[in-house]
Amino acid sequence: MIRPTVWIPRRLSDATLARARATYDLIVKDDDTPGTADEIIAMSGQVDAMIPCHSEHFTADVVARLSPRLRIVANHSVGVDHCDLAALAAAGIVVTNTPDVLSDATAEIAMLLMLGAARHAVTGDRLVRRGEWTSWSPSFMVGKQVTGSRLGIVGMGRVGRAFAAKARGFDMDIHYYNRSRLPADQEQGATFHSDLDSLLAVSDFLSLHCPATPDTRGLMNADRLAKLPAGAVIVNTARGALIDEAALLAAIESRHVAAAGLDCFQVEPGGNPSFAAHENIFMLPHIGSATVRTRDAMGFRALDNLDAFFAGKAPRDRL
Ligand code: 8YV
C-alpha cells in the first residue's frame, strides 16, 4: 500500500510523532510556528492529510485555494472554530476533531482558575515572590469561598460535565445552561436552566464551556455580565470570543465582577494587555489541555481518525 503523506504544522508529542511515522510519510514544520494561509495552501498540493491545531486557520478563502490532493483535516483539537466547516465540506474534505480526551485536563485548569481568582492567587504570589509580604492581619487578602457556593456552567458538554464532577468535590450547588436538558445520570443533581439569564442570576461562580460559534460570540456582553450576582467570579477555558473583553474590564473595574480566571482571549497569543493592571484577573496562556497524558491522547485520537479514514472506514470523530 502507498503510504499517505501527512503535514504536521506544530510540534506534537514525541509519542504522537513516533506513532505517525510508523504509518505515514510525514512533513513536519520544525519551527513550531502557526501554519500560515500560504503554507496551508502550498502544503495541500504535497500531502493527503493534515494534523493542524487551532492555530492553523482554514477560512473559506484558504479552503477555496486548497489542492484537491488534500483529503482529510484531522484536527489536534476539540474546538474547530478555526475551520470553516461548510467550506471544507463543500470542497469534499473530511474534518475530524479530538473530543473526550482533553476534558479532564481542561476541567483541571478551570478549577485552578476558579480557585486562583477567588482566593487572590496573583496578588499572593506576587507578594511572597517579590519579598513584599511585610504584614499579616485577619482582614488581609480575604477572598470568596468556593466550597458550597453556587456554580453556573454554560455548556454541559464533555468538558462542562468533567468540571461539574470536580466541582462536586467542593460541594458546589451546580446549575447549568445547555441547548437541551441532560439525562439524570449525566445531570447528577445539577439544576437545568433553559434560559441563560436565569442561570446568570444564580451564578456566584460562572464557568464557560461552550464552543465559539456565530451564536455564542460575545455571549458575555455588558447586559449579561450585569445579570450576574454582585461579586461573581467568571472563568473561561473555552474560547476568548465568548467574552466581550471591554465589557468584562468595565465589570471588573466597577467591582460588579469580583474576579476572573481566563485561559483564553480574543487575541492569541498575547491576550489583553488591559487586563494586566488587575491582579483579580488570573490569566494563563491557553494551556487547558497541556498535560503530557492529554497531549499524547489528543495526538493518538487524531491518528485514530486518520487510520480509519485511510482504511476506508468512517473516522470516529468526523464532523
Ligand atoms: C488545544 C483547545 O490546546 O482543543 C482545543 O480546542 O482549545 C486546546 O485545548 C488546542 O486547540 C490544540 O490545537
131-158 tens-digit pLDDT: 999 999 999 999 999 999 999 999 999 9
Substitution candidate for ligand 1 out of 286, 291, 292, 301 with most atoms within 8 A of CB: 286
d(CA 153, CA 207): 5
Q: Do 118 and 90 lie in a common domain?
A: no
- Report whether residue 157 contacts ligand 1, using a CB cutoff of 6 Å: no
Strand spans (E) along the chain: 5-8, 25-28, 49-50, 72-74, 94-96, 150-154, 173-177, 191-193, 205-208, 232-236, 257-262, 281-283
Q: Do 140 and 211 lie in a common domain?
A: yes
How large a percentage of the chain has pLDDT more than 90?
A: 99
In sign, the C-alpha dihedral spanning 86, 88, 93, 99 is negative
Compute the average pLDDT of residues 205-232.
Answer: 97
Supply the pLDDT for residue 227.
98
- Residue with the three cell numbers 439544576: 191
Q: Is 168 left (phi over 0), alpha (psi -120 to 50) or beta?
A: alpha
Compute the average pLDDT of residues 179-205.
Answer: 97
Number of domains in the chain: 2
If you take atom 9 of ligand 1, which residue's CA is the nearest one? 289
Supply the pLDDT for residue 233.
98
Q: Do 111 and 185 lie in a common domain?
A: yes
For the question of residue 239 being annotated catalytic, the response is yes
- Report whether residue 79 contacts ligand 1, using a CB cutoff of 6 Å: yes
Q: Do 96 and 149 lie in a common domain?
A: no
* CA 290 to centroid of ligand 1, rounded, Å: 9
Q: Do 165 and 256 lie in a common domain?
A: yes
Q: Do 126 and 231 lie in a common domain?
A: yes
Angle (CA) 297 72 21, round 5°: 55
Q: Do 119 and 265 lie in a common domain?
A: yes
Supply the pLDDT for residue 1.
65
Supply the pLDDT for residue 11.
97
Compute the average pLDDT of residues 246-258.
Answer: 98
Q: Do 63 and 148 lie in a common domain?
A: no
Residue 299 has pLDDT above 70, yes or no: yes
Compute the average pLDDT of residues 92-97.
Answer: 98
- Report whether residue 102 contacts ligand 1, using a CB cutoff of 6 Å: yes
pLDDT confidence bin for 161, thresholds 50/70/90: very high
pLDDT confidence bin for 2, thresholds 50/70/90: confident
Q: Do 228 and 119 lie in a common domain?
A: yes
- The bridge status of strand 205-208 relative to strand 173-177 is unpaired
Q: What strands lie across the sheet with 191-193, from one edge to the other?
A: 191-193, 173-177, 150-154, 205-208, 232-236, 257-262, 281-283
| All cell numbers assigned to 44 | 495541500
pTM for the whole structure: 0.96
Compute the average pLDDT of residues 24-28.
Answer: 98
For the question of residue 268 being annotated catalytic, the response is yes
Q: Is 190 left (phi over 0), alpha (psi -120 to 50) or beta?
A: beta
Q: What is the mean pLDDT of the chain?
A: 98
CATH number at residue 149: 3.40.50.720
Residue-range definition of the domain harbouring residue 254: 103-283
Give the 3-state secondary structure of residue 183: coil
- Let me know if residue 122 belongs to a domain: yes
If you take atom 1 of ligand 1, which residue's CA is the nearest one? 77
